[in-house]
Amino acid sequence: MSMEVDGNPWAGEVALVIDGQRHVLKLTLGALADLEAGLESDSLVALVERFEQGAFSTRDVLALIVAGLRGGGWQGRAADLLSAEIEGGPMQATKVSAALLARAFALPEVG
């Protein structure tokens, strides 16, 4: 079991294995709009700040995973993930969520 976050950083992609199947996650503009709408009164800036401060919730992680999956073409719902087996568990889901945010709002480092 790898705790690496692979995917194409130049395309803002990360990968996550759910129920034994590898999924590519990406925060497209549409996925970001859906994510922001789902945050209700919150904003994407507040979400980024929570991750930077280590003050994020499991709800934040789940919302980011769902948005990233949808940006990658997944047609499921958040409820579909409630009983799903995520390779690497909650720590990997958190790492992937943070990488999604970082890759959506920053250019990858060269070299």
Rounded (10°) CA dihedral 74, 75, 76, 77: 110
Task: Specify whether the backbone of 105 is left (phi greater than 0), alpha (psi in -120 to 50) or beta.
Answer: alpha
Extents of the domains making up the chain:
9-105
pLDDT in tens, 92-105: 999 999 999 988 87
pLDDT (mean) for 14-32: 94
Q: What is the pTM of this model?
A: 0.85
**pLDDT tens-digit profile of 31-76?**
988 888 887 767 888 888 888 899 999 989 999 999 999 999 999 9
Give me the pLDDT at residue 36, please. Answer: 86
